A = this chain, B = another copy of it.
Amino acid sequence: MNTIRITIWNEFIHERTNSEVGRLYPDGIHGALATALRAHPELEIRTATLREPEHGLTQEVLAQTDVLTWWGHAAHDEVDDQVAARVQQGVINGMGLIVLHSGHLSKPFLRLMGTSCHLCWREAGERERVWVVNPGHPIARGIDRFIELENSECYGEPFGIPTPDEQVFISWFQGGEVFRGGNCWTRGSGRIFYFSPGHEAYPIYHNPLIQRVIYNAILWAQPQGIRADVPRHVPVEEAREKIVARGLRLHEADGLLQK
Q: How far is the CA of A172 from the CA of B177 in the complex (A)?
A: 7
Q: Which of A8-16, A51-59, A178-186, A207-215 contacts B (4 or more CB under 8 A)?
A: A178-186
Q: Contact partner of A124 among B129, B170, B253, CB < 8 A? A: B253
Residue in A124, A127, A137 with the greatest tally of chain B CB atoms within 10 Å: A124
A178 to B167, Cβ gap below 8 A?
no
Choice from B158, B242, B243 contacting A230 with Cβ under 8 Å: B158
Q: Which residues of B contact A238 (CB under 8 A)?
A: 122
A256–B122 Cα distance when bound, in Å, is 10
Counting chain B CB atoms within 10 Å of each CB, the highest count among A157, A165, A186, A230 belongs to A230
* Whole-angstrom CA separation of A177 from B245 in the bound complex: 14
- Most chain B beta carbons < 10 A, residue from A114, A140, A243: A114
A41 in contact (CB, < 8 A): no
Interface 9-residue window, one of A27-35, A67-75, A221-229: A221-229
Q: Of B132, B178, B190, which contacts A158 at CB under 8 A?
A: B132
**Interface residues in A, total, Cβ within 8 A:** 87
8 Å CB interface, A92-148 against B:
92, 94, 111-116, 118-127, 129, 131-138, 140-141, 145
CB nearest to A138 among chain B residues: B224
Contacts of A240 in B (CB 8 A): 124
- Find out whether the CB atom of B162 lies under 8 angstroms from the CB atom of A119: no
Chain B: minimal CB distance from A224 (Å): 4
